[in-house]
Structure 1
Amino acid sequence: EPTEGIQPSLVDRLAVTLAVIARQDGIGLLLVEQNLDLALGLADRVLVMEKGRIELVVEAAGLADALPALEARLSI
């Protein structure tokens, strides 16, 4: 979790830096992050895990539509 313990004012700078690196170098990033706003700002796809198992794979733009079913399945 790259933002864990980081001063909140630096979180946005970190997000921009990660996005620039990924675009410039043409690489994908695997981001493990509980800050959903940050993750959705960077992600093309979202994988949701519970107890070490992937429970959902969805395009980031479609996550809001998938949340009700996900919440029911994971008892969130």
Structure 2
Amino acid sequence: LGHVGYTAIKKMTSENMATGMPIDLSSPTPVCQFCILGKQTKTPIPKEWCGERATRVLEKVHADLMGPEVV
């Protein structure tokens, strides 16, 4: 799921490998927000717990509060 990189598109255009793609070869590389979001990484979860442990059932509850995302 994605698209060809802008460098590949410029190469295809400059070497006449594809037609019908009017592109200004001197234009700067555009930014694709979806590519940026897709390449983001999170820091790994620490191996050691550094907080207080729950001593009773349901004393601490963890929930996913985000989603679903629109693509």
- Specify the TM-score bucket, using the shorter chain as the normaliser: under 0.3
TM-score with structure 2 setting the length:
0.20
Select the structure that is richer in strand: 1
Higher Cα Rg, which structure: 2
TM-score (norm: length of structure 1) = 0.20
